[in-house]
Amino acid sequence: MTEAKRLAAEKAMTFVEDGMIVGVGTGSTVAYFIDALGREPDRIRGAVSSSDQSSQQLRSHGIEVLDLNSTGPLALYVDGADECDPRKRLIKGGGAALTREKIIAEASDRFVCIIDPSKQVDVLGAFPLPVEVIPMARSLVARRILAMTGGQPVWRESVVTDNGNVVLDIHGLRISDPESMETALNQIPGVVSVGLFARRPADVVIVGGPTVSIL
Ligand code: 5RP
């Protein structure tokens, strides 16, 4: 799947226009996209980054990392996903960067999602759904999630997010109504963000492989 990720990422360069400020996600697929940007670093004005990891990689290529508060709305956001359904609704957050990813997606006119074919699903939920949570609310949120969804929340113990929070991964879901679940989980006090990108799905999905598809 590594080659498929690289091919999807390279294709995303066709959406980059000269002088743009590009929103940049996080993960192994996006890492290929950052490398592609790094081959022509002067083409763009800079990037808004969704994680410390991506910021570091961007800077290593001489690309300036800008603050979203100074840039205003972005024309383009490029990011990967853990799952993608036929309506371009996504599960994201496998890399624990979901909150900043969601902020940048919301701030962007066009969200181009780059994936390998293994990420395509009919129904979201086989990939455990990440939820970023304020640390003191971890147990409360876990109980509410169990009662609300029937899924099993598992604390990703080794991880502290770039925002200083924890992540619960909800196992055993089959998400028939992603918009409603996203809204409902967002209401639990202590939830910072939910890795469902249904209310703001991707606009374009690029699936890498021997033939690259643009959906
Ligand atoms: C990080 C993400 C990533 O986009 C997602 O986990 C996909 O990662 P990869 O490109 O490594 O398969 O949401 O929070």
Same domain, 101 and 51: yes
Same domain, 171 and 68: no
Domain range for 35 is 2-120+200-214
* Residue-wise pLDDT tens digits, 67-124: 999 999 999 999 999 999 999 999 999 999 999 999 999 999 999 999 999 999 999 9
Same domain, 181 and 134: yes
Same domain, 6 and 21: yes
Q: What is the pLDDT of residue 168?
A: 98
Confirm or deny that 82 is annotated as ligand binding: yes
Q: Which residue from 95, 119, 89, 101 is spatially nearest to 167, judged by alpha carbons? A: 95
| Beta strands 108-115 and 204-207, pairing class | parallel
CATH number at residue 187: 3.30.70.260
CA–centroid distance, 95 to ligand 1, in Å, is 5
Confirm or deny that 116 is annotated as ligand binding: no
The DSSP element (H or E) to which 37 belongs, if any, is helix 28-38
Q: What is the pLDDT of residue 143?
A: 98
Q: What is the pLDDT of residue 1?
A: 81
Q: Which atom of ligand 1 is nearest to the CA of 195?
A: 13
Same domain, 66 and 10: yes
Tally of domains within the chain: 2
Q: For residue 54, with 0-12 CB atoms within 10 Å meaning exposed, 13-18 middle and 19 or more buried, which class applies?
A: buried
Same domain, 161 and 178: yes
What are the pocket residues of ligand 1 if the criterion is a CB atom closer than 6 Å to any ligand atom?
25-29, 79-82, 92-98, 101
Cα separation of 169 and 157, whole Å?
Answer: 10
Q: What is the pLDDT of residue 167?
A: 98
Q: Which atom of ligand 1 is nearest to the CA of 116?
A: 12
130 pLDDT above the threshold of 90: yes
Same domain, 70 and 86: yes
* Residue-wise pLDDT tens digits, 188-208: 999 999 999 999 999 999 999
CA–centroid distance, 97 to ligand 1, in Å, is 8
Residues in Cβ contact with 56 at an 8 Å cutoff, skipping those fewer than 6 apart: none
Q: What is the pLDDT of residue 119?
A: 98
pLDDT band at 183 (very low <50, low <70, confident <90, very high): very high
Q: Whose CA is nearest to atom 5 of ligand 1?
A: 81
CATH number at residue 61: 3.40.50.1360
Same domain, 93 and 140: no
The dihedral built from the CA positions of residue 79, 84, 86 and 88, taken in this order, carries a sign that is negative
Q: What is the pLDDT of residue 41?
A: 86
Same domain, 58 and 135: no
What average pLDDT does range 28-44 have in this prediction? 96
* Residue 101 bears catalytic tag: yes
Same domain, 111 and 42: yes
CA–centroid distance, 81 to ligand 1, in Å, is 5
pLDDT band at 145 (very low <50, low <70, confident <90, very high): very high
Same domain, 102 and 160: no
* Selected catalytic residue, list 3, 10, 17, 101: 101
